[in-house]
Structure 1
Amino acid sequence: MAPLPSPLLADQFAPRCEFGRTDHVVVDADPVSTYQAVHDLDLSDLHGFLVNAAVGLRELPERWRSRGTRRQRTRLTINDLAAGSDWVVLGEQPGQELVFGAIGKVWQPIVKWVPIEARDFSDFSEPGYAKVVCSISALPYGQRRTIVTAEMRVVLTDPHAWLSFRRYWRISTPFVGIIGRAILRTVKNSAEKGGVR
């Protein structure tokens, strides 16, 4: 009898997913090198016309409010999330899975984020918010390759938030997919350039 698969760390923070998206890529590098590429990923350094368009559209209301000045992008690796970001690292299974998240009214043009500590994330239940959980995992795929999964799960704290998010999700889903695939592409390129094959 085959052993049961390990539970995902993301299940601790979003066991029931009301909205979500999952993307995968097979990487021609070993799991250790690939997971290092996940850990080194700079979220502010994703490239491509569609990525720039997706991020630019999301930032338009904030730029308009601040009279068109564009925020200077800084480095944003997993280790940098705690320093001045609205996102928090929720947990890690070293060498296997990283989970980070944020809580906010993401459907508003300028998002109202809730400052939160990882230990308080699961218990947060104030009405009117979306709890966004993102997971990036790297697992062995055969003997020499790795499958990397980027998953987003969204849990809403009340029915009104659910309705607001559903309208937002219909519009934003293609852009979420663009960014998710860019993350996987960046991890793949980084791991395959530096990994052991």
Structure 2
Amino acid sequence: MRLDYYLPQYNFVERHSITVNSTPEKVFEAFWQLDMAESKIIKTLLKIRGTYGLIFPGKSNKQSSLGLSIKDMIDKSGFILLEEMKNKEVVMGFVGRFWRPSGGIDRSVKAEDFVGFNKNGYCKSAWNFYIEQELGDKLRLPTETRILCCGGSAKILFSLYWAVIRPFSGWIRLEMLRIIKKTGANEFN
């Protein structure tokens, strides 16, 4: 996994996976077409966190046809596309002080800066979606989120934040996988 290159050491991790009856091409396409607005759970959790407008600036919480795509996250929210291996893996990252109400995302960090970033008081997170071929037409689609805390104070503050947010973060990932499966499997049939 290319995730190992971008964040080989980390303090916190969250892993989820789903099995999909499809092809790597269809699942990869479903990943890029993923619209998290399909999930009331994801929209609600983002609103509760209070970061909806910060993650997706210019999109009102009251709009009925919101687009919450991976591309939106990369283009507008401070997520960095670190690497894309077509039909295999996508690795994204972001840097910030995630425990702050705004998420404290540092939008100045670029892909080429990510591996070497080590600013005290910040965390960096790398997140992937990876396609593994199983028997026949079955694919396993794991996603893994890793967080590295830069300095003791960041680790303490993030651990308090993570104790509260982790179940909801995992719920969002599971919802994303469910939507990808639904879209990728439907396109396969």
Q: TM-score of the superposition, structure 2-length normalised?
A: 0.87
* 1:83 positional shift: 2.6
| Counterpart-to-counterpart distance in 2, 1:180 and 1:113 | 20
Query: In structure 2, which of residues 76, 95, 105 is the aligned counterpart of residue 103 of structure 1?
Result: 95
Contact 1:18/1:153, CA 8 A, preserved across alignment: yes
| Counterpart-to-counterpart distance in 1, 2:186 and 2:52 | 38
* 1:84 positional shift: 2.5
Q: 1:167 to 1:46 in 2, by over 3 A?
A: farther
* 1:57 positional shift: 1.3
Name the structure 2 match of 1:59.
50
Is 1:112 matched with 2:100? no
Aligned counterparts, 1:132-143, within 5 A = 132-143=125-136
Is 1:22 matched with 2:15? yes
The structure with the larger Rg is 1
| Number of matched pairs | 182
Structure 2 residues not aligned, in runs of 5+:
55-59
Aligned-pair identity in percent equals: 23
Aligned counterparts, 1:153-164, within 5 A = 153-164=146-157
What is the one-letter code of the residue matched to 2:45? A
Contact 2:94/2:105, CA 8 A, preserved across alignment: yes
Contact 2:46/2:52, CA 8 A, preserved across alignment: no
Q: 1:82 to 1:188 in 2, by over 3 A?
A: closer
SS of 2:142's partner is: strand
Deviating runs (4+, > 2 A) in structure 1? 50-53, 60-63, 69-85
Q: TM-score of the superposition, structure 1-length normalised?
A: 0.84
Contact 1:21/1:151, CA 8 A, preserved across alignment: yes
What is the one-letter code of the residue matched to 1:25? I
Name the structure 2 match of 1:89.
81
| Counterpart-to-counterpart distance in 1, 2:69 and 2:79 | 11
Structure 1 residues not aligned, in runs of 5+:
1-7, 64-68
Q: 1:71 to 1:104 in 2, by over 3 A?
A: farther
Backbone CA RMSD of aligned residues: 2.2
